[in-house]
Amino acid sequence: MAEIIPLRPVRTPEPLWRELVGESLRARRLAAGKTLAETAARAGISPQYLSEIERGLKEPSSEMIAAVLGALGTTLVDLTTDVAEQLAPSRSETMLLAA
């Protein structure tokens, strides 16, 4: 008779850092009312490259992140806080995991 192997619970994969950084940069750019082209020009990168960063397709260097943050008038601390908040499970999720 075949042995029954229990299935492991399906876990949602962790989001990629570049995706969360991109989402945060895009949200900050839109909140500031800046266009992709305007922000890219101020950061010294192409609009296409900034678009790829915002969509999580490119893994930008720390220098590129700093340039975009400078163009948006924000800081690495602000970006890191945004990403950390996205990664932190909500209270209800934490309570379910603890139960």
Is 71:9 a contact under the CB 8 Å cutoff?
no
Q: For the chain, which residues make up each domain, given as ranges? A: 17-98
Burial (CB < 10 A; 0-12, 13-18, 19+), residue 25, is: buried
- pTM of this prediction? 0.78
Mean pLDDT of the chain: 88
Distance between alpha carbon 66 and the CA centroid of its chain, in Å? Answer: 15
Residue 52: the pLDDT is: 98
CATH topology of domain 17-98: 434 Repressor (Amino-terminal Domain) (1.10.260)
pLDDT (0 to 100) of residue 79: 97
pLDDT tens-digit readout, 31-51: 999 999 999 999 999 999 999
Write down the pLDDT at residue 63. Answer: 97
